[in-house]
Amino acid sequence: MKYWWPIIILFSILVISVGTLYATGYRIGPNISLVKTHTLTITDIPKGASIFADYVLRSKSTRNTASISLVPGMHTILVSAQNYSPWASLVAVPESTNVTVRAIMIPKAVSGTLLSGSAARKARAFIKRTVLPTIKNPLVLAGGCALVSVSANYEIIATPTTTPTCTPPPYFCIDNTCTKTVVFPPEAKLSALVTYPNRNDALLAVIGKNIFAISLDPRAPRTFVSILHGIAPHMAQLPDGAVVVYDQSAVYSLSLAI
């Protein structure tokens, strides 16, 4: 029995050491190496949302943000919540810092406020004057680092801009070279394109009879959700950021808040 004591002591030391490393954020990485984890914080999510990392449930949100620990590298993040379409995205966790991302949670039942009188006339007039963004008059997203336009065949194109104060999103750059990227090639005619309210990384597009929410990030998995099916919808974005829709005789503003 006395010969077992060294083994028990060594095993206890090993268990304590592993527990200490785990508690301080270290995990077993490739080639049985120790890897320091970092915190991924996800914002703009409903309370009670389920957070998945690489298809494993990691957390349940108790407020409009949630944080999980991940080893450095690319991870597939999925957020699922009642009454919302699931949001999924590829997220890069750096080796040296924590990272924060904003989920794009689209309500399954998008609400709208019916407009009448002068408000309706103003919206209709604005919609009538609105045209698709072009290279000369693009939509400006990603903090001014991505210029979004529509090509002759209705492809949504993002042109990254690189300046000393502007770094394009990494999904437009390969090997430190940032190039023009097809964000989305619609199968039907695209008739309107605006920025998603209060966001720098998403769009609203009228394609055929539907209005879609589309993420600026073209990688799969991505956001591509039908938020409204109409008869012949027309859409524009007012100077204050509100999105208005004219469909047949109805004019209304959309509400996409969480």
CATH number at residue 99: 2.60.40.1120
Domain count along the chain = 3
pLDDT at residue 241 in the model? 92
Q: Do 32 and 113 sit in the same domain of this protein?
A: no
Q: Do 84 and 152 sit in the same domain of this protein?
A: no
Q: Do 18 and 48 sit in the same domain of this protein?
A: no
Q: Do 129 and 99 sit in the same domain of this protein?
A: no
Q: Do 17 and 120 sit in the same domain of this protein?
A: no
Residue ending a domain, among 53, 74, 103, is: 103
Please write the tens of the pLDDT for every residue from 180-227: 999 999 888 899 999 999 999 999 999 999 999 999 999 999 999 999
Please write the tens of the pLDDT for every residue from 55-105: 999 999 999 999 999 999 999 999 999 999 999 999 999 988 899 999 999
Q: Do 241 and 158 sit in the same domain of this protein?
A: yes
Q: Do 12 and 132 sit in the same domain of this protein?
A: no
Candidates 194, 167, 189; CA nearest to 178 is: 167
Split at pLDDT 50, 70, 90, the class of 6 is: low
- CB count, 10 Å around CB of 26? 16
The residue that leads in pLDDT, 5 or 167, is 167
- In degrees, rounded to 5, the angle at the alpha carbon of residue 190 between the alpha carbons of residues 185 and 194 is 100
For 218, the domain range is: 107-255
Residue ending a domain, among 103, 128, 157, is: 103
Q: Do 74 and 24 sit in the same domain of this protein?
A: no
Instruction: Give the β-pairing of 190-195 and 202-207.
Output: antiparallel
Which residue type is seen at 189? K
Residue ending a domain, among 87, 103, 119, is: 103
Split at pLDDT 50, 70, 90, the class of 140 is: very high
Please write the tens of the pLDDT for every residue from 214-249: 999 999 999 999 999 999 999 999 999 999 999 988
The helix (run of H) or strand (run of E) holding residue 10 is helix 4-23
Q: Do 112 and 229 sit in the same domain of this protein?
A: yes
Portion of the chain with pLDDT greater than 90, in percent: 72
Q: Do 118 and 128 sit in the same domain of this protein?
A: yes
Candidates 180, 222, 224, 178; CA nearest to 90 is: 222
Q: Do 79 and 186 sit in the same domain of this protein?
A: no
Q: Do 224 and 150 sit in the same domain of this protein?
A: yes
Tell me the HSE value of 196 on the side-chain side, using a 13 A CA sphere. 23
